Amino acid sequence: VADTSIIWTDKVWNPTTGCDRVGPGCDRCYALTMAKRLKGMGSAKYQTDGDPRTSGPGFGVAVHEDALTIPLRTKKPQRWFVNSMSDLFHPRVPAEFIARVFAVMAQTPHHTYQILTKRAPRMRHLIGRPGDGGDQLLATTTDEATARALYDAEWPLPNVWLGVSVEDQQRADERIPLLVETDAAVRWVSAEPLLGPVDMTRWLGKETVVGMTTTADGWENIDGPGIVWLVAGGESGRGFRPLDLDWARSLRNQCQGADVPFLFKQVGGPTPKSGGRLLDGREWSEYPVTPDPKEV
């Protein structure tokens, strides 16, 4: 699988593979389709560093210890999409393994990591709220090196973008509030495959309530950045559910109103390229402004 097939990232890092469906956005899951295809071709030859792997007889969740060292061994700064073939916060990925993934990201500040989940409650639970400083994750690990890396890290990890995938208003309402409550340097949303109109204006932009804190006078809101990057796109593949361009237009307008960068990935169709990338006659390829990656 060519890493470049996802336009908004440089490389794919798959420390876990395997998943199962959790909402209508999963109906034509690329990872499940690809797993089936790889299995048909004999998965063994795909079991090399960084390549998607299938595991077991179906698409069971598997963790890949050997993949953990890949970013550590990659000196050139890269933007990595974490888990194109899985969901890092799937209930069958042990919390201790998630802690190890975060420890690797903490130890490689020259890379940027883009994480997307549909399991926002577990992400919120394990990563904690703004100000928690990674304590929940630390509590899951008995491994000394992992604990040290998490303990020494700056929280939230500046090089980790945490995001949720949403396909419709219901999933936006369920997942985005949990993301906004989760400690993260950059919060983003992938609305792909977009299956209906979504209003996410209340979570977009730099000034959003991200939490509460106690003060001498009682409770006070913690203000911070909400969603600072939105990617949207239509579905592709056999039996794709067509995108109504007005849904994408509305999201773009919401972003413009909140000064949030917007990336339109694809219209969709029988193949990812079928419908092209134009929305109202132009491409939309904006990215969040983030600090320069640190040297290691």
Q: Which is nearer to ligand SF4, 25 or 224 (CB)?
A: 25
Residue 289 CB, shortest distance to ligand SF4, in Å, is 28
Nearer to ligand SF4, 160 or 166 (CB): 166
73 or 238: CB nearest ligand SF4: 238
Nearer to ligand SF4, 38 or 210 (CB): 38
Q: How many CB atoms lie within 10 A of CB 44?
A: 9
Rounded to a whole number of angstroms, the minimum distance from the CB of residue 140 to ligand SF4 is 22
Write out the residues near ligand SF4 by the rule CB under 6 A: 19-22, 26, 29, 31-32, 86-87, 118
Shortest gap between Cβ of 37 and ligand SF4 (angstroms)? 14
CB of 104 to ligand SF4, least distance (A): 21
- Shortest Cβ 87–ligand SF4 spacing (Å): 4
Strand, coil or helix: 252: helix
Identify whether the C-beta of residue 131 lies closer than 8 Å to the C-beta of residue 211. Answer: yes
Residue 130 vs 168, nearer CB to ligand SF4: 168
Residue 15, C-beta contacts closer than 8 angstroms, at least 6 positions apart: 63, 64, 67, 68, 82, 83, 88, 97, 101, 104
According to DSSP, residue 44 is labeled G
Q: Which of 224, 231, 241, 156 is nearest to 189 (CA)?
A: 231
Shortest Å distance, C-beta 86 to ligand SF4? 6
Decide whether 22 or 68 has the Cβ nearer to ligand SF4.
Answer: 22
Q: CB–CB of 188/226 below 8 Å?
A: no
Closest alpha carbon to 244 in 204, 198, 284, 190: 198
